[in-house]
Amino acid sequence: MNDFAQSVQTAIALIVHADAVLLHTVALSLAVSGVACALASGFGLFAGAWLAVARFPGHRALVMLINTLLALPSVVVGLAVYLLLSRSGPLGEWGILFTPSAMVIAQTILVFPVVAALSRQLVGDGLRDGGDQLRSMGASPLTCALLMLVHDRWAVVTLLLTAFGRAIAEVGAVMIVGGNIAGSTRVMTTAIALETSKGDLPLALALGLVLLAVVGAINALIALVQRGGHRGSALAGVR
């Protein structure tokens, strides 16, 4: 217990004194997960909206596949991206294995199904309520779906924050494709794993605290967004 208390004390000191290694690791984590989420959101929201309205042979199978990929293990993504980007892999000539770019690719693949599956569900539910009205006004099916994303924008923000939470908290994929290289590809989760195995508990704990703080901030944001959404629903219930 004393060791734990001492570790917490040291961790707080590292945070308060803005330790350079700590700051770099946190900044890289935020940057990699932020870019990955931005990319996954761009593709995922569009794919989700499209899947909500498109009808083609194999549509149901594709939806099932994307829903299944919600539970995609991050190490599997890491392994697949590693095989793609390794020297002998099809994208080996890009030469980006063990760089932040590779980590962004892995996290984008990891988060894309989350954004696509949940936004498809969101748009589908919205269209059951207002799809006919929008079609009546001349909107094409895809325009209806994209308007539904605007209509449910608070739920979309919640969805994207959830996706960011999944990205920043994952360790398997970035460990495999990033290599956990100090000062280059070391992010919070991989650093925690490494420092714990080395026995440097204060740094691991400090990083753990920062990670918790980031996830806590995301949860607080989600709660705020949901409160905003509920307020909107309550107002809508007036009529």
Partner 1 sequence: MSAHTMKGTPLLAVADVSVRFGDAQALHGVSLQIASGESIALVGANGSGKTTLLRLLHGLVAHRGERRVLDPQARQVMVFQRPFMLRLSVWNNLRVALWLAGVPRAQHAARATEALQRVGLSHLRGRPARALSGGEAQRLALARAWVVQPQLLFLDEPTASLDPTAKKEVESLLEGFSRDGITLVMSTHNLGQAKRLATRVVYLDRGEVRVDLPVAEFFGEEIDGRAGLFLKGELSWTLE
Of the two residues 17 and 239, which places its CB atom closer to partner 1 in the complex? 239
CA quadruple 136, 141, 143, 144: dihedral sign: positive
Q: How far is the CB of 119 from partner 1 (least distance, A)?
A: 16
Distance between CA atoms of 228 and 179, rounded to whole angstroms?
A: 41
Nearer of residues 59 and 153 to partner 1, judged by Cβ: 153
Q: Measured from the CB atom, is 18 or 150 closer to partner 1?
A: 150
CB of 129 to partner 1, least distance (A): 6
User: Shortest distance, CB of residue 8 to partner 1, whole angstroms?
Assistant: 44
- The footprint of partner 1 (CB under 8 A) covers 129-130, 132-139, 143, 147, 150-153, 232, 235-236, 238-239
User: DSSP readout, 159-213?
Assistant: HHHHHHHHHHH--HHHHHHHTT-TTTT--HHHHHHHHHHHT-HHHHHHHHHHHHH
Residue 111 or 147 with smaller CB distance to partner 1: 147
- Which tokens in the block code for residue 156? 């979309």
Give the nearest distance from C-beta 186 to partner 1 in angstroms: 42
SS (H, E, C) 17-51: CCCHHHHHHHHHHHHHHHHHHHHHHHHHHHHHHHH
